[in-house]
Amino acid sequence: MWIFRSVFLFSDLLSFCCCFFFLQKSVVDGVLPSFRSVCGEDGVSLSEAIREQHGKDESVHKCCPPDVVVFPRSVDEVSALAKICHMHCLPIIPFGTGTGLEGGVGAMKGGVCFSLRNMDQVLDLHVEDFDVTVEPGVTRKALNSYLRDTGLWFPVDPGADASLCGMAATSASGTNAVRYGTMRENIMNLEVVLADGTIINTAGKGRRPRKTSAGYNLTNLFVGSEGTLGIITKTTLRLYGIPEAVVSAVCSFPSVQAAVDSTVQILQSGVPIARIEFLDDVMIDACNRFSSLSYPVTPTLFLEFHGSERSLEEQVNTSEITQCNGGSDFQWAKDEETRSRLWKARHDAWYAALALRPGCKAYATDVCVPLSMLPQIIVETKEDLIANKLTGPIAGHVGDGNFHCLMVLDPNDPDELQRVHLFTERLARRALAMSGTCTGEHGVGLGKRALLVEEMGAQAIQVMQSLKETLDPKNLMNPGKVLQ
Amino acid sequence: MWIFRSVFLFSDLLSFCCCFFFLQKSVVDGVLPSFRSVCGEDGVSLSEAIREQHGKDESVHKCCPPDVVVFPRSVDEVSALAKICHMHCLPIIPFGTGTGLEGGVGAMKGGVCFSLRNMDQVLDLHVEDFDVTVEPGVTRKALNSYLRDTGLWFPVDPGADASLCGMAATSASGTNAVRYGTMRENIMNLEVVLADGTIINTAGKGRRPRKTSAGYNLTNLFVGSEGTLGIITKTTLRLYGIPEAVVSAVCSFPSVQAAVDSTVQILQSGVPIARIEFLDDVMIDACNRFSSLSYPVTPTLFLEFHGSERSLEEQVNTSEITQCNGGSDFQWAKDEETRSRLWKARHDAWYAALALRPGCKAYATDVCVPLSMLPQIIVETKEDLIANKLTGPIAGHVGDGNFHCLMVLDPNDPDELQRVHLFTERLARRALAMSGTCTGEHGVGLGKRALLVEEMGAQAIQVMQSLKETLDPKNLMNPGKVLQ
Q: What's the pLDDT at B21?
A: 55
Residue of B128, B189, B210, B451 best to disrupt the A interface, most CBs of A under 10 A: B210
Distances (CA, A) of A360 to A60, A355, A363: 10, 8, 10
**Cβ–Cβ below 8 Å for A203 and B459:** no
| Strand-strand pairing, A275-279 and A300-307 | antiparallel
Give the residue from A183, A210, A228 with the most B CB atoms within 10 Å of its CB, the best one to mutate: A210
pLDDT, one tens digit per residue, over A188-205 is: 999 999 999 999 999 999
- Closest by Cβ to A440, choosing from B151, B200, B213: B213
Closest B-chain CA to A151: B268
Q: What is the mean pLDDT of residues A362-377?
A: 95
Provide the shortest C-alpha distance from residue B32 to chain A (in Å): 28
Question: By the 8 A CB rule, do A424 and A442 touch?
Answer: no
Helices (H), B399-482: 414-433, 449-456, 458-471
| Residue-level pLDDT at B16 | 45
A61 close to A446: Cβ distance less than 8 angstroms: yes
pLDDT bin (cut points 50, 70, 90) of residue A23 is: low
What's the pLDDT band for A469 if we cut at 50, 70, 90? very high
Determine the distance in angstroms separating the CA of A230 from the nearest CA of chain B, rounded to an integer.
12
CB atoms within 10 A of CB B89: 12
Q: What is the DSSP string of B440-455?
A: SSS--TTTTHHHHHHH
- CA end-to-end span of chain B: 14
**pLDDT beyond 50 at A7:** no
Closest CA to A370 of B54, B354, B181, B206: B206
- State the nearest Cα–Cα gap between A434 and chain B, in angstroms: 8
What DSSP letter does each residue of A368-394 carry, written as one string?
Answer: B--GGGHHHHHHHHHHHHHHTT-B--E
Alpha helices (runs of H) in A316-413, residue ranges in sequence order: 318-324, 336-347, 349-355, 374-387
- Which are the contacts of B266, defined by CB distance < 8 A and separation ≥ 6? B273, B276, B318, B321, B322
Question: What domains lie within chain A, and their CATH numbers?
Answer: 14-115 (3.30.43.10), 122-241 (3.30.465.10), 245-433 (3.40.462.10)
Record: contact B204-A437, CB cut-off 8 A: yes
State whether B207 and A435 contact (CB < 8 Å).
yes
Q: For chain A, what percent of residues have pLDDT higher than 70?
A: 95
Q: Chain B: nearest CA to A417, how far in angstroms?
A: 24
Q: Are A99 and A161 in contact (CB under 8 A)?
A: yes
pLDDT beneath 50: ranges in chain B:
1-19
What pLDDT score does A110 carry? 96
* A455 vs B contacts (CB less than 8 Å): 204, 207, 214-215
Residues in chain B with CB shorter than 8 Å from the CB of A131 are: 370
Nearest to B412 by CA among B365, B375, B360: B360
| pLDDT given for residue B310 in this prediction | 80
Q: Judging by DSSP bridges, how do beta strands B240-241 and A300-307 pair with one another? A: unpaired
Between chains, do A224 and B216 touch, taking CB under 8 Å as contact? yes
Backbone angles phi, psi at B175, to 5 degrees: -70, -25
Instruction: Among A147, A201, A213, pick the best mutation site for testing chain B contact (most B Cβ within 10 A).
Output: A213
Q: What is the pLDDT of residues A317-346, one digit of tens each?
A: 888 899 999 999 999 999 999 999 999 889
Out of A215, A460, A470, the one facing B200 most closely (by C-beta) is A460
Q: Supply the pLDDT for residue A313.
A: 82
User: Binning pLDDT at 50, 70 and 90, where does residue A307 land?
Assistant: confident
CA distance A197 to chain B (A): 11
Averaged pLDDT, A69-97? 98
Q: How much is the pLDDT for A317?
A: 80
Which of A172, A218, A372 lies closest to B129 in CB terms? A372
Model pLDDT for residues A86-111, shown as the tens digit of each residue? 999 999 999 999 999 999 999 999 99
Q: Could B437 and A171 be called an inter-chain contact, meaning their C-beta atoms sit closer than 8 Å?
A: no
* Closest-CA residue of chain B to A452: B214
Selected residue with higher pLDDT from A440 and B20: A440
**pLDDT at residue B458, rounded to an integer:** 97
Rounded CA gap, B224 and B206, in Å? Answer: 21
- Classify residue A239 as exposed, middle or buried by CB count within 10 Å of its CB (0-12, 13-18, 19+): buried
Please list every residue in chain A whose beta carbon sits closer than 8 Å to the beta carbon of residue B311: 311, 314
- Give A-chain residues touching B400 at CB under 8 angstroms: 209-211
- pLDDT above 70: residue A15: no
| A165 phi and psi angles, rounded to 5 deg | -70, -35
Q: What are phi and psi of A262, to 5 degrees?
A: -60, -45
| ipTM for the whole complex | 0.94
Pick among B75, B183, B211 to test the A interface (most A CBs inside 10 A) = B211
Predicted local distance difference test score (pLDDT) of residue B259: 95
Q: Is the pLDDT of residue A315 over 90?
A: no
DSSP state of B426: H
Work out the minimum CA distance from A35 to partner chain B, whole angstroms.
Answer: 24
pLDDT of residue A20: 55
